[in-house]
Structure 1
């Protein structure tokens, strides 16, 4: 049997729980997936208009969104690359982030950066910084690494650079944040 694979792009899909929800909805519609990754789903069938509408409605109920617009799909792919790079790797790439994103996306970085800024109203660099700070918060909460180790792991040039960026984004020093009783983290969907 020769299967044709179809790719679907799902917005706000940033966790294992999201992947499980998508798999469940595909199963409910009798659709077979070959892979379900953050933001990208490969299925073995072509979707009928009715199936697409049902999947879109079911995903919306779970806070996810099936995407159609080409620019929106490109933006979502960029966000997935950044999210995976920062939150799901043990170490950040040692190359320049623009080179990494360009290589992973197989597009010219300037093109990606322009579309991202146009659609999101924020630069890719600021988006990366916001995600890095959320990862730093997570690492501070785990309390397994000291600030020097976190700084090194997150590719900051120094603890001072990390602290300055952390304070600029959160208004707090990393040490003050770590000592707060009610620590505030932002949902990855909202970064």
Structure 2
């Protein structure tokens, strides 16, 4: 197979893919509308999804789908720690029919449950309260 990306273009394309992934996730969270990942990636980057997937498999040892799921997990962790949104609300916004599916992905990719990240939030808030009392 011929690789359409030379070694100079690969890091740039990888960065572009990650930016599109972030945009897709943010858009889903803001609108609650599901976005078809492969189609959106093709439209935004004007390149073949399978060719990009092969690039990521070769360079990152991960498929685009896995990268997308890992980025979702990172965003979910962030939302659980820094917002009061329940997992059910986050899951719905990201297009999951059941929050259990998202919970399972969180557990698969981090080894931790949603409750763990909520506990981190509680600890952070408690530390802030303690600091404010000292002032």
Q: Same fold (TM over 0.5)?
A: yes
Q: Distance in 1 between matches of 2:117 and 2:85?
A: 15
**Whose helix fraction is larger, Structure 1's or Structure 2's?**
2
Q: Distance in 1 between matches of 2:11 and 2:87?
A: 36
* TM-score after normalising by structure 2: 0.74
Runs of 4+ with deviation above 4 angstroms: none
Alignment-derived partner of residue 134 in structure 1: 74
Aligned residues: 115
Q: Compare relative contact order (CA 8 Å, sep 6+) and give the higher one, 1 or 2.
A: 2
Q: Distance in 2 between matches of 1:80 and 1:176?
A: 28
2:73 is aligned with 1:73: no
Q: Distance in 1 between matches of 2:21 and 2:49?
A: 13
2:73 is aligned with 1:170: no
Structure 2: 5+ residue runs without aligned partners?
A: 1-6, 125-135
Q: Distance in 1 between matches of 2:13 and 2:89?
A: 34
Structure 1 residue 114 displacement after superposition: 0.8
Aligned-pair Cα RMSD in Å: 2.1
Structure (1 or 2) with the larger CA radius of gyration: 1
2:92 is aligned with 1:149: no
Q: Following superposition of structure 1 onto structure 2, how do residues 36-75 of structure 1 map, counting pairs within 5 Å?
A: 69-75=8-14
* TM-score after normalising by structure 1: 0.54
